[in-house]
Amino acid sequence: TQLLEQSPQFLSIQEGENLTVYCNSSSVFSSLQWYRQEPGEGPVLLVTVVTGGEVKKLKRLTFQFGDARKDSSLHITAAQPGDTVLYLCAGRDNFNKFYFGSGTKLNVKP
């Protein structure tokens, strides 16, 4: 059983569509991070959210941390083929250990 449930596991959409990826847990986290990972490469940090209810924007990407700091979402507006990667969420507990979701593999078709 994963501490962080990430959904959906796979997502295939047309260019220009919007999408949301979810990261849910029954545990409270000190912070939550989102990464993107290209095939054969290490994850690259996109954003860290720390405060409950926090919203951060990175161009067409919007990240939200739940009020109770148990869940998070990543929303992409007007998806482009360059968004085709694996997205990972990771929560940090009070002992500074990280727990990763299983990832969302996004495919944006031109």
Give contact residues for another protein (rule: CB under 8 A).
Answer: 2, 4, 6, 9, 30-31, 33, 35, 40-45, 48, 50, 88, 90, 92, 96-103
Closest separation between CB of residue 78 and another protein, Å?
27
Which is closer to another protein, CB of 2 or CB of 77?
Answer: 2
Q: How far is 84 from 73, CA to CA, in rounded Å?
A: 17
Q: At its nearest, how many Å lie between another protein and the CB of residue 14? A: 25
CA distance 98 to 75: 22
Q: Which two three-digit tokens encode residue 94? A: 């009070």
